[in-house]
Structure 1
Amino acid sequence: MTQAFDAAAQQPLLTSRAEQALALARRLGADACEVGASVDQGIGISVREGEVETVELSRDQGIAVTVYQGGRKGSASSTDASDESIHAVVEKAVAIARYTGEDPAAGLADAALMATELPDLDVHHPWALTTEQAIDLALACEAAGRSQPGIRQSEGASLSSGEGVRVYANSHGFLGSQCGSRHSLSCMLIAEDEGGMQRDYDYTSARDPRDLLAPEAVGRSAAEKTLRRMGSRRPDTGRLPVLFDATVASGLIGHLMSSIAGGSLYRQASFLCDRLGDGLFPAWFSLYERPMERGGMASSPFDNDGVQTRDNVFIENGQLASYMLSAYSARRLGMQTTGNAGGARNLRIDAPLATRDELLARMGRGVLVTELMGQGVNGVTGDYSRGAAGFWVENGEIQHPVEEFTIASNMEAMFKGLAAVGSDIDTRGSIHSGSWLIDEMTIAGG
């Protein structure tokens, strides 16, 4: 980057700030305290129609302090990590704790659960990229897409690259830190013919810049996806199978995880309350997390409570095997933390996998969904209704693009109706999944 930055070199400073905050909280009478501190730096470039639109160099830092006093909790934070600011933040957190109501579930996670294995998980790969080089990569990506016949204009290409370090410490004596990096490149294009205009995009993302796709490949893929949407029409209305492309299937897993998250459960805001052990999926389907996976997009040896992360199985042979709990939500539910404060880390599927052709052949007639719109997911009832776009499938073959329709069902019915999972696994995020074939949903089209 154009500004020198060494995430690892920031760790001693953040550690000192965290220890300073803990010591001050003790002096001010807090029973317990936890501190999170971080520093991040990144570069962001956007280009459009061959011209540079934005160049952003960012450097962010922050410190957050939570104190506990007799069942009361107070939290405060600041983006200023000076000695004076740290003192003010701790004083504010202590003052807030004096006025909050008592909560028997509030407090640090048990000391015995603090992480003791803190290996290097290979998640920090800085990119020595100048601003000029970043601009050239974004321009090359866009140019490759714009050069494809049928592409009318560009909505732009963007490159982002960042690295940072975070430290978590608490008054149990635990202190953990981790450096990390993330890099991405994307392109969005527009095509037009006598039937109208269509747009689509593609992207690549990785911890290690060497794992990114070539800029030209991203641009060409964005053009191909855009051109495939030309001539879209509305599909027939009816009850039909739906194939969720791998790029959107991970969202279904996200909805599942939100429904088994402790916060939703103790608020009674989930259709999966009190459902442990119930069969939700076919017996051939399992879902698990691997937080200690080397190089994973969400890998971490400790969660946001400082608890040692571990492999968890959430769906085992179709049954709901575990909820996703932090220390606080576990206490509210009378259960034990699963090391998931901050969410699940590196979700993976264990299931027989089928090729795209096999999935289409099994579908026969229905809709392949490649884009979802709207927020029509009700976590309390499980009802699911989203705007969608994709492709009409007949006799196991893609016939033409479709748009301006909705797909609707209930998530429990969708999970039980999972007919197959594809081998086209999307590995760009923390959820790795192939396409999902759901046996039947309501399609509302023309």
Structure 2
Amino acid sequence: MSDLFDQSALASRAEALVEAARKAGADAADALATRSVSLGTQVRHGDLEEMERSETDVLGLRVLVGQRQATVSTRDPEGTGFASLAERAVAMARSAPADPYAGLATADLYAHDLPDLDLLDRTEVSAEELVARAKAAEEAGLSVAGVTNSGGASASWSLSGIVLATSEGFSGRHMGSRHSVSFQAVAGTGTAMERDYDYTVAAYMDDLEDAATIGRRAGERAVKRLGPRKIETGRLPVVFDPRVATGLVGSVAGALNGSAIARGSTFLGRSLGQKILPDDVTIVDDATIRRGLRSHPFDAEGIAPRRLALVGGAS
């Protein structure tokens, strides 16, 4: 499994792809190589229902001819077709419409000193360990009084990483890991059945919550849903479950997305500097959190991350 952590071959291919693009006539180019490895298991009533493993390496090339650009991708592991791929990409770019915003990042934006964000857990996880973890969650959930069935338990492990090389001289790589456990419980019987779930996910296996805790909490949540009552119509306070927070933040982040603003498809298109949430709500995009699930030392263009206050606060 140790070879999966070695990105040196991917880095060489990315650099070779950029060089092929320059030889084909591109004014500028960048190549992004991605690696994705995952292993997942699912059990139900103590039996293994599904096990899946995948390993994928993909290289993407972006070429620019003036302010015209094109993007192509390949899974060629040896690079034997890089020259013809780059030629086709350059031909596509010459036929594309000019984009005044197309271009590589400027040198001052590149991440030169990559921070150690501790994103990669090198713990080797076996399928047997994942099955045992899923079974532990399910057993704990089924032991909760009122839980009548299992919707299934799962446990997974994955690696993902990128290598970026640009014609402007930037070269960088990073990789991260992810572990997870989840369980879905069913409570009640007949038409009065309810279901709920719980999960834990972390970059490091040691940071996961105990699988049995996940199972019990899912079972307790399902049982609490039993016997819902109808309330009279009126103006009432609303209390959101903590799990709803990501959905609310996601809706705001989607509305603030640059492409949505450019297309005019967002309700926040003209809200810069305006109050859109209560004063005590701050939404911050910070990709530098140690062991953060979305943290990274540089983005897909090689730009160094920084803490950005999207709503309230100060960057």
TM-score relative to the length of structure 2: 0.94
**Paired residue secondary structure (1:238):** coil
Structure with a larger share of its residues in helix: 2
Q: Residues 307-359 of structure 1, C-alpha deviation per residue, up to 9 Å, x if partnerless?
A: 11111122225xxx78xxxxxxxxxxxxxxxxxxxxxxxxxxxxxxxxxxxxx
Letter in 2 for 1:108: L
Contact 2:68/2:99 (CA < 8 Å) preserved in 1? yes
Aligned CA distance change for structure 1 residues 276 and 155 (closer, same or farther; 3 Å): same
- Picking from 277, 280, 285, the partner of 1:284 is 280
Return 5+ residue gaps in structure 2 as ranges.
none
CA distance in 2, matches of 1:54, 1:127: 22
TM-score, structure 1 as length reference: 0.67
Give the match's secondary structure for 2:80.
helix
Q: 1:98-143, CA deviations, whole angstroms, 9 ceiling, x for partnerless residues?
A: 2211111111122221111202210001332222222111111111
Question: Does structure 2 conserve the Cα–Cα contact (< 8 Å) formed by 1:7 and 1:165?
Answer: no
Shift of 1:304: 1.8
Aligned match of 1:81: 77
**Which range moved further: 85-94 or 117-126?**
85-94
Residues 381-427 of structure 1: CA deviation (Å, up to 9, x unaligned): xxxxxxxxxxxxxxxxxxxxxxxxxxxxxxxxxxxxxxxxxxxxxxx
Give the match for residue 113 of structure 2.
117
Letter aligned with residue 249 of structure 1 = A
3-state SS of 1:226 partner: helix
Is the counterpart of residue 263 in structure 1 residue 259 in structure 2?
A: yes
Equivalent position amino acid for 2:5 in 1: A
**Range 297-306 or range 43-52, more displaced:** 297-306
Do the aligned residues in 2 keep the contact of 1:166 with 1:179 (CA within 8 Å)?
yes
How many Å separate the matches in 2 of 1:130 and 1:46? 14
What amino acid is aligned across from residue 111 of structure 2 in structure 1?
A: A
Structure 1 pair 134/277, CA: closer, same or farther in 2 (3 Å)? same
Letter in 2 for 1:285: V
Q: Distance in 2 between matches of 1:84 and 1:158?
A: 40
Give the aligned partner of residue 249 of structure 1. 245
User: Does structure 2 retain, via aligned residues, the 8 Å contact 1:125–1:181?
Assistant: yes
The amino acid that maps onto 1:104 is P
- Quick one: which of 281, 290, 297 aligns to 1:294? 290
Q: Distance in 2 between matches of 1:282 and 1:221?
A: 31
Which amino acid letter does the alignment assign opposite residue 268 of structure 2? L
CA distance in 1, matches of 2:194, 2:66: 59
Of 179, 197, 201, the match for 1:205: 201
Shift of 1:161: 0.2
| Percent identity over paired residues | 38
Aligned partner (choices 140, 145, 152) of residue 156 of structure 1: 152
Do residues 43 (structure 1) and 39 (structure 2) align? yes
Q: CA deviation at 1:273?
A: 1.7
Which aligned segments of 4 or more residues in structure 1 are displaced greater than 6 angstroms? Answer: none
1:217 and 2:213 aligned:
yes
- Looking at structure 2, the residues matched to 187 and 85 of structure 1 have their Cα atoms a distance apart, in angstroms, of 45
SS of structure 2 residue aligned to 1:39: strand
Amino acid at match of 1:206: A
Q: Distance in 2 between matches of 1:175 and 1:148?
A: 52
Label 1:245 to 1:85 Cα distance change in 2 as closer, same or farther (>3 A): farther
In the other structure, the counterpart of 2:307 is 311
Q: Distance in 1 between matches of 2:69 and 2:294?
A: 28
* Structure with the larger RCO, 1 or 2 (CA within 8 Å, 6+ apart): 2
Higher strand fraction (1 or 2):
1
Cα pair distance change 1:90/1:285, threshold 3 Å: same
Superposed CA offset, 1:57-106 (max 9, x none): 21111111111112111111123333124444423322321221111111
Q: Secondary structure at the match of 2:235?
A: strand
Structure 1 87/139 Cα, relative in aligned 2: closer, same or farther at 3 Å?
A: farther
Matched residue SS, 1:243: coil
**1:162 & 1:110 partners in 2: Cα distance?**
33
Alignment match, 1:53? 49
**Distance in 2 (alpha carbons) for counterparts of 1:89 and 1:240:** 61
Partners of 1:7 and 1:179 within 8 A in 2: no
